[in-house]
Structure 1
Amino acid sequence: MVVLQAGKSPFKTENTYDEKLKIWSGGEKRSLFSPDLSIGEITFQQMERNPKLTAQISVTENTVLTWQDIHTNSMKVATYMRKLGLQQGDFVGIIGRLTTHLTALAYACFFNGTPYHALHTQYEESAIERLFAITKPRLIFCDGDEFEKVQAATKELQVQIVTMRNHPTGSLSIQDILNTPVESNFRPVRLKDGTDQILAILSSSGTSGLPKPVTVSNSHQIIGSFLPVDSSIVQYNPNTLDWASGIIMTVNAAVFSLTSIIEDCDFEPATLCGLIEKYKISMVFVSSSQLAMLSNCSEFYSADLSSVKYFFYGGSNCSLETQNKIRSRLSNECVNFSYTITELNSTGCLNFNFDEKPNSVGRPVRGIKIKIVNELGEAQGPNVVGEVCFNNGQKWSGYYKNPEETKKMQDSENWFHTGDLGYMDEDGYLFLIDRLKDMLKYQTIMYYPSEIESVIAEMPNVVEACVFGIWDPVNGDKAAASVVKKPGTQLEAQDVVEFVRKRIHAKFKQLNGGALIVDQIIQSGNRKANRAATKAEFLRIMQKNSI
């Protein structure tokens, strides 16, 4: 066992490398609480400790809540759920932006041991219908903006829907729920399956094109005990409860009595700069695309950002140029890349040593192990490229009701296969090279090229199509397509773009990178489309045409 040097990190690390097994470790996981306590019990008791501290400020709804307010509201929502007969094993559906009472809804689910199943507001009706048909939520909370879409998608479930904002006439609103008197002697439930029990269900694209419900457990690994944070921290995170960062920061806000600054609108970098200055925000988590937007924002270079202690970003690739722009305005130690997968239930890696290891996603945090495997599943040593695999040493309930895809993600030895190609260097830092899977991300929303290809294939003049992602530092993977038309027919690239626009309403699945009519799709040895080669040819032709 080799103990790896900590470098210049301001945080203590216990990283080791097992030369025999070829496994890197972030050290033993530790919990700040009794191991039998659920996340609901922990957050409940922590809210009681600091009732007068400010818990949340909504800058769009102009509300300020203390931890006592959120504690009371959470118990009201939980009491309402109990009166409806919701029990452990039932699900609550959530499709909502960061409105004032969204966190109370999450904590209510934690208190009751009734997991929530969260979907992104941009999901199409068909995706909502398919995913909620799996978990069959007994109660759904959504914004009024999505009410009709959610109602249509869940008509077979005959489920009650509560709106969180912009309430349609006659709908049941969150304010109605908050009129519920708190149950006498209210206490959070004891979980039947302990910390292995499901805390929430998020969405992940897994190893095929359709989103799958991925379970998150009550494991204490979700608590960020590797960071020295306390109630003085004011945090900002634009991601909702359907993201791993959303649930992680919601849990940790209650555990450490943090103050959260929230807004229920799309991310605006200039607004964030103003919020940091006004509220003295000390911890920020944004996606890599949002980081790129911030680096191109003039307000970023004039605002007072001196309050920021921790600035985390992640979710996709990020150019070195963008990272250096951000670091030019912030303390070097506070800017850190965060790398994980939803299935891991926690942060996977953090890079606290950018100066020494630029473009690395860092080392595994406490409780996390990493190995790099080749195509045969054999562990590889330092500086050898292979698939990145994680192990968190805890039970995972898998993709809900999908054992086949669960086995593809986690092997018999409980290693998660990320689908990312990378290598560990001799100092135990992880570097990512490319995606092994075809999954793409546009503005952090996951999608697959096959979804768009199937739509293009419906065009009568199309023989074959290959869709791939063109990297953009702000938006992420912009879908682009190379298309083969039927001989003797007329088909223009713009026809393809317009056809997709009319058939697919989600903006992240548009051909934002354009289309190209080609004579043939480049194939691999197995006679399947070679996306990488087709993409390279697309870029070559587009560059040539632009000259």
Structure 2
Amino acid sequence: MISIASNNSVETQKPAEISSPNLISDIHPTSSQQNQVPDNIHSPTTTAATTTTTTTNHVFKSKLPDIPIPNHLPLHTYCFQKLSEFSDRPCLIVSSTGKSYSFSDTYLISQKTGAGLSNLGIKKGDVIMILLQNCAEFVFAFMGASMIGAVTTTANPFYTAAEIFKQFKNSNAKLIITHSQFVDKLREAPADGAAPDQNNYLKLGEHFKVVTVDDPPENCLHFSVISEANEKELPEVVIDPEDPVALPFSSGTTGLPKGVILTHKSLITSVAQQVDGENPNLYLKEDDVGRQCLVMHKFEIGTLLELIQRYQVSVAAVVPPLVIALAKNPMVAQFDLSSIRVVLSGAAPLGKELEEALSSRVPGAVLGQGYGMTEAGPVLSMCLAFAKEPLPSKSGSCGTVVRNAELKIIDSETGCSLGYNQPGEICIRGSQIMKGYLNDAEATATTVDKEGWLHTGDVGYVDDDEEVFIVDRVKELIKFKGFQVPPAELESLLVSHPSIADAAVVPQKDEAAGEVPVAFVVRSNGLQLTEEAVKEFIAKQVVFYKRLHKVYFVHAIPKSPSGKILRKDLRAKLATPTHN
């Protein structure tokens, strides 16, 4: 909804800006006699003939020119700034009911919801928790909270009570918006995960309020209480660009989930980097903008295909599990998907073979990838084949770094910045990145250095055509006798096998090698496939240290709602006696 509403927020760009270089190499001479220690983000080089150290800082920029971004505005103002031009255009459609909301409907209900939240005591700086599956109320609540200067933290409604309340307490939320079916989890739960103690419980109705989008259980309010408030009662608040508006939780590169502070400025910048300017990176045509954002309550392949056909969906933002379903499920052949012109995959790397398999199913669509991280605001790079004036994009790449930002690749051990085609840790800098982790200065300092570079923990490289390729996560690399084995590479090969529906690769401890790669594999449609056949399939395609040492067949690969493989769950399986 945000991208659609702001697609026509076109800013002018100066032709002279197009000539700016994509790789900036700043050479900084420093005298060794002055005892100056180079900053660890630079790459020091010396020669025997001189005592001078030269520091090269390789910084990659977008192929697209920078543009003016109105990130001084509040997020909701930016999203609806062209409302008068699109007032009656459809904005949202709820797939389960067919109910449609225009842009003016969406704006008005968001205003009413903001006023309703204010009537319930939510003030500027307060946090509300959205514990919802996909629905229109999610949009109304998020935008309404933004309008009164409140902050939204989102959580998966299928979390356990302990997981929900841990985030609820850490975010200091005042109210939860959810479905009635999840309320039982909220009745009584330990405030801090400790042993049950009557003095340690947060009680619904006493310590916090619950609003449900359907029939409210006891002590809960119906969403209409807030969505039907008088919009004229919306309080006037002054919002600074650096004020927080969203508080998602992320584990980052290491550790337990932490609150990621995203400001009005950071989210506006991230959206504008994609859809603003005379040549938007993600170009939404007039027909795309004129159609609704189709909201599916939950994923089911048959329902999805039927909805794409019925509503003539033109832009599909998907995650790798959905790509696998579209590429390999035989049901796809029964539906007309010719309306799709753009397929954008994100959340996890997508292999070349899987891209090609999907392209054969939707030959008329442009398929590409974006790359993001919650802490980065979230988009770092985007496929330029989606641009209004498209540029070629290689299969398997994640596009080029977003405009109005800088990217560099560093050696994770030395901190030296690297040039083209040299894999290292990806770092990003720009107004779109997070303000920091909530109440965790140490984790913030570890992730964002003093020069403003956010260290992603992802290993990748930039090729000669400025395209970003993800190799793997730093913490997920398997170390086999000193060799680095990227799980994503092996997973890409595995899912290219016609008898494999899905796969994941994780390390298993080994006394001799330290770690060895093992695979969890889901067979396609119950087809017969042996462990030896899988191991042989991989062995023929990789160097010796990347060969699989064990294959386990499973019914499904555990994944997060965004499609990321839950490797910790698979590592836990390996720790059980049956997998030793």
TM-score (normalised: structure 1): 0.72
Match of 1:171 among 195, 208, 220: 220
Alpha carbons of structure 1 residues 513 and 396: separation in structure 2 relative to 1, 3 Å: closer
| Secondary structure in 1 matching 2:403 | coil
Match of 2:294 in 1: 261
In the alignment, residue 327 of structure 2 is paired with which amino acid? S
Deviations 1:406-453 (A, max 9, x none): 11111111111111111111221112212102499xxxxxxxxxxxxx
> What's 1:18 paired with?
24
**Match of residue 228 from structure 1:** 283
Offset of 1:14 from its aligned partner? 7.0
SS state at 1:384 partner: coil
C-alpha change, 1:321 and 1:394, in structure 2 (3 Å) is closer
- Cα displacement string for residues 287-343 of structure 1 (whole angstroms, at most 9, x for unaligned residues): 112211221122333432222222100111223221101112335762111101111
Aligned partner letter, 1:173? H
Q: Give CA-to-partner distance per residue, 1:197-243, whole Å, 9 cap, x none.
A: 21201121113331111111112212232323255316xxxxxxxxx
Q: Equivalent residue for 1:422?
A: 460
Residues 281/131 of structure 1: CA separation in 2 closer, same or farther (3 Å cut): same
The alignment partner of 2:129 has SS state of strand
**Partner residue in 1 for 2:139:** 103
**1:213 pairs with 2:259:** yes
| 2:93 equivalent to 1:57 | yes
Query: Distance between the aligned counterparts of 1:516 and 1:133, measured in 2?
Result: 31
Q: What is residue 42 of structure 1 aligned with on the other side?
A: 78
Could you say if the C-alpha distance between residues 392 and 66 of structure 1 is closer, same or farther in structure 2, counting changes exceeding 3 Å?
Answer: same
Contact 1:40 1:113 in 2 (8 A): no
The residue matched to 1:183 in structure 2 has which SS? helix
Cα distance in 1 for partners of 2:354, 2:340 equals 18
Q: Structure 1: how far apart are the matches of 2:123 and 2:415?
A: 41
Structure 1 segments of 4+ aligned residues over 4 angstroms from their partners: 12-15, 353-356, 468-484, 506-514, 516-519
Whether the 8 Å contact between 1:362 and 1:430 is mirrored in structure 2 is: yes
1:279 aligns with 2:311: yes
Shift of 1:17: 0.8
In 2: Cα distance, 1:37 partner to 1:232 partner: 27
The equivalences for 1:131-142 within 5 A come to: 131-142=167-178
Counterpart Cα distance in 1 of 2:576 and 2:79: 56
Q: Per-residue deviation at 1:122?
A: 2.7
- What secondary structure does 1:232 align onto? helix
Preserved contact between residue 243 and residue 263 of structure 2 (Cα < 8 Å): yes
Contact 1:337–1:350, Cα closer than 8 Å, also in 2: yes
Partner AA of 1:381 in structure 2 = G
Match of 2:338 in 1: 306
Cα distance 1:278–1:108, how it changes in 2: closer, same or farther (>3 A)? same
- CA shift, 1:15, in A, is 6.6
The alpha-carbon distance between structure 1 residues 293 and 514, as it changes in their structure 2 partners (threshold 3 A), is farther
Pair 1:360 & 2:397 matched: yes
- RMSD of equivalent CA atoms: 3.4
Q: For residues 282 and 135 of structure 1, what CA distance do their matches in structure 2 show?
A: 37
Deviations 1:153-208 (A, max 9, x none): 46437110111236435521212323322225x576430xx222212011211133
d(CA) in 1 for partners of 2:98, 2:216: 18
- The one of 149, 152, 164 aligned to 2:185: 149
Mark the CA change 1:166 to 1:420 in structure 2 (over 3 Å): closer, same or farther: farther
2:576 & 2:510 partners in 1: Cα distance?
A: 5
Distance 2:464 2:113 in 1: 51
2:369 to 314, 331, 337: 337
Match of 1:195 in 2: 241
Deviations 1:112-146 (A, max 9, x none): 12110111223222222222212211221112222
> Do 1:203 and 1:212's aligned partners in 2 also have CA atoms closer than 8 Å?
yes
Counting matched residue pairs gives 436
In structure 2, the CA distance between the partners of 1:322 and 1:134, relative to structure 1 (3 Å rule), is same
What is the Cα deviation at residue 393 of structure 1? 4.0
Aligned 8 A contact 1:367 1:392 in 2: yes
> Quick one: structure 1 residues 35 and 59, their matched pair in 2 at CA, closer, same or farther if it must change by over 3 Å?
closer
Deviation at 1:515, TM superposition (A): 3.6
- Percent identity reads 22
Aligned to 1:465: none
Counterpart of 1:389 in structure 2 is 427
Unmatched 5+ stretches in structure 2 = 1-17, 27-56, 192-200, 386-390, 479-486, 496-500, 512-551, 553-560
Q: Which has the larger radius of gyration?
A: 2
